[in-house]
């Protein structure tokens, strides 16, 4: 999985660079009002393209699939929020995988994850002469995941189920476009053995 390792390292480097920029960005102007209490909460839906690496019986495999998620958060101020998310992927269905010896098998792998993150954003209008409300953001968080696998031995036809639970850190970076209470965002996110490029739509309320 040398390629996936290089991709993960590249994603981490890009996100770290964005987070460093966000950390060094100057605070909001003193005369800039914070988000009103009535719009501190937000909720949204996201869709993504996911590259997922998995393994079974010492055999590693990977594939690309689609993912989706629901998330909700609370803006502590107009720059910082705490977010809770639930994500899942369309199952991987891989066929005729070479196992140990002469064994070959099909595998179906599904992943679900629950995460809590802190999001920090910077308003680009604070730095650039632009009219529209574009923002960049970085996220750091932790996740708990569950992987369910169904494995079919092609020789005997026997079918077994195998699952794993995991946890770790997640990092993400992206852009956010705001129109009133409605917001669109695009992002890169990496967590464990999954890397994704996605977009979401959210509403403040």
Q: What does the chain come to in residues?
A: 205
CATH class as words, domain 2-26+37-204: mainly beta
State mean pLDDT over 8-33: 50
DSSP category for residue 10? H
CB of 96 closer than 8 Å to CB of 104: yes
Mean pLDDT of the chain: 85
- Extents of the domains making up the chain: 2-26+37-204
Split at pLDDT 50, 70, 90, the class of 29 is: very low
78-90 pLDDT tens trace? 899 999 999 999 9
Residue appearing with tokens 């010492």: 58
Main-chain phi, psi angles of 5, to 5 degrees: -65, -40
Task: State the CB neighbour count (10 A cutoff) for residue 169.
Answer: 13
Asked if residue 28 has pLDDT above 60, the reply is no
State mean pLDDT over 130-159: 93
Q: What pLDDT sits at residue 12?
A: 54
106-144 pLDDT tens trace? 999 999 999 999 999 999 988 888 889 999 999 999 999
Q: Name 32's Cβ contacts closer than 8 Å, sequence gap at least 6.
A: 78
pTM assigned to the model: 0.79
DSSP category for residue 34? P
């Amino acid at each position: 999985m040398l390629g996936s390792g290089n991709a993960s390292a590249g994603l981490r480097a890009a996100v770290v660079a964005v987070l460093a920029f966000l950390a060094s960005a100057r605070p909001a102007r003193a005369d800039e009002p914070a988000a009103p209490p009535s719009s501190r909460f937000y909720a949204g839906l996201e869709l993504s393209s996911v590259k997922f690496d998995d393994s079974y019986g010492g055999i590693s495999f990977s594939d690309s699939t689609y993912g989706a998620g629901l998330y909700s958060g609370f803006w502590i101020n107009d720059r910082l929020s705490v977010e809770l998310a639930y994500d899942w992927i369309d199952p991987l269905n891989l066929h005729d995988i070479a196992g140990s010896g002469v064994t070959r098998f099909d595998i179906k792998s599904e992943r679900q994850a629950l995460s809590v993150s802190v999001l920090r954003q910077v308003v680009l209008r604070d730095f650039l002469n632009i009219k529209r409300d574009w923002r960049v953001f970085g996220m750091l968080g932790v996740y708990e995941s569950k992987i369910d696998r169904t494995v079919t031995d092609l020789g005997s036809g026997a079918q077994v189920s195998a699952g794993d639970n995991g946890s770790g850190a997640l990092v993400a970076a992206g852009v956010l476009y705001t129109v009133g209470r409605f917001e669109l965002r695009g992002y890169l996110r990496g967590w464990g053995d999954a890397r994704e490029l996605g977009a979401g739509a959210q509403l403040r309320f």
